Amino acid sequence: MKCISNSLGALAPRYPIENLCIPKQTLFIDIETTGLYAKSSSLYLIGCIYYNTQEQSPAWYSIQWFATNYEDEENVLRAFADFASDYRYLIHFNGNQFDIPYLAKKMEQYHISCDLGRFEGIDIYRRIAPYKNFMKLPNCKQKTIEGFLHTEREDVYSGGELIDIYHEYVLTHDPEKEHFLLLHNEEDIKGMLDIIAALAIPDLIHNPVKVTKVQANYYNDIHQQRCPEIIMNLKFPVPLPADITCSANSCYFIGCGNEGKLRVPIYEEEMKYFYSNYKDYYYLPQEDIAIHKSVAGFVDKEFRQQALASNCYTRKVSSYLPQWDTLFTPFFKREYKDHDLFFELTDEFKTRREDFNRYAHHVLEMIASQC
């Protein structure tokens, strides 16, 4: 077995991992195997990145345990188990699906005491995958995300292609083949320091958004009609790793670094507010409104009728913003069976910056779910 350790110098995670874990108690991990199933394949390489605080200048280091023959598999596992015993967090890419279950089966096979369940796992893949379309990615493979973030790789092989190379290496101990095997794993674990930056995307969607400026604007639609909209300037606590543009339901988002913009159409038209307790109302067909029974005594019976859920409303011409849940009340609709919801853009609302923060977050969640 070979153990290779190197300082990564100035290389560090492109994301404040203090938001996720304690750096000095954290291992980035990736494994290389000759197959998908622990029972019928061999583990030949475990690579980790860790934060070394023992040196005069703390820095991130890589460490790799490499099986130079098939019999070294147990030695690799034991070396990793000993090293990992002082750590609390494991950061990986799709490790919940492959790396961790594979390692657990191998540890059991060799009766090695290493409870992988005690680690707090952080799976970058699982956190990023729901936002694949938001980032306009064709898939969520690690190399695809690295390309999106402009991460450069020297390695040209896939893990599957390296299986035959490892089998040949065991027979020949060819230094060039060893280089390819170690390089692939090294760039996978170093790549995680880059792609973890993509966790800024779920942060953007799930965490509060700060609106720094709101302004009204007009644009020409596809029919060259002049239409009103609001533009919200945004500030993010964690910078986006790349420029993002996305749209849904006529709402547009663009983000770059720590800043972004949301464009949302304003609907200037008549809408209806539907009363929920329609049995307490009369509908006045000639007026096309509903009034409460307590004030309907002055209306002749021939001009009123028991209200239904579908006509128990009052009408109002105003300026409205769309919403996709009842974030703000009262909410308005065009017709009773419509799924589209709106709220009134009142002068009072325009002064409430905290409500704009909530609304911007609401719009971002919608765009991310619809992309």
pLDDT at site 312: 98
Q: Mean pLDDT across the stretch 178-207?
A: 95
Q: Tell me: the pLDDT tens digits for 199-213?
A: 999 999 999 999 999
Distances (CA, A) of 200 to 15, 143, 203, 236: 8, 18, 5, 9
The percent of residues above 70 in pLDDT, for the chain, comes to 100
pLDDT band (50, 70, 90) for residue 319: very high
- The residue ranking higher by pLDDT, 371 or 105, is 105
Give the C-alpha separation, 73 to 11, whole Å. 30
pLDDT at site 98: 95
pLDDT at site 198: 95
What's the chain's average pLDDT? 95
How does strand 120-123 pair with strand 89-92? parallel
Residue 291 pLDDT greater than 90, yes or no: yes
Q: Mean pLDDT across the stretch 348-359?
A: 96
> What residue segments make up the domains of the chain, in order of their start?
2-203, 267-344
What backbone torsions phi and psi does residue 268 show, to the nearest 5 degrees?
A: -100, 100
Give the C-alpha separation, 255 to 88, whole Å. 34
pLDDT band (50, 70, 90) for residue 55: confident
CA angle (45 as vertex; 98, 71 as ends), nearest 5:
110
Kindly report the number of other CB atoms within 10 A of residue 295's CB atom.
9
pLDDT at site 222: 82
CATH topology of domain 2-203: Nucleotidyltransferase; domain 5 (3.30.420)
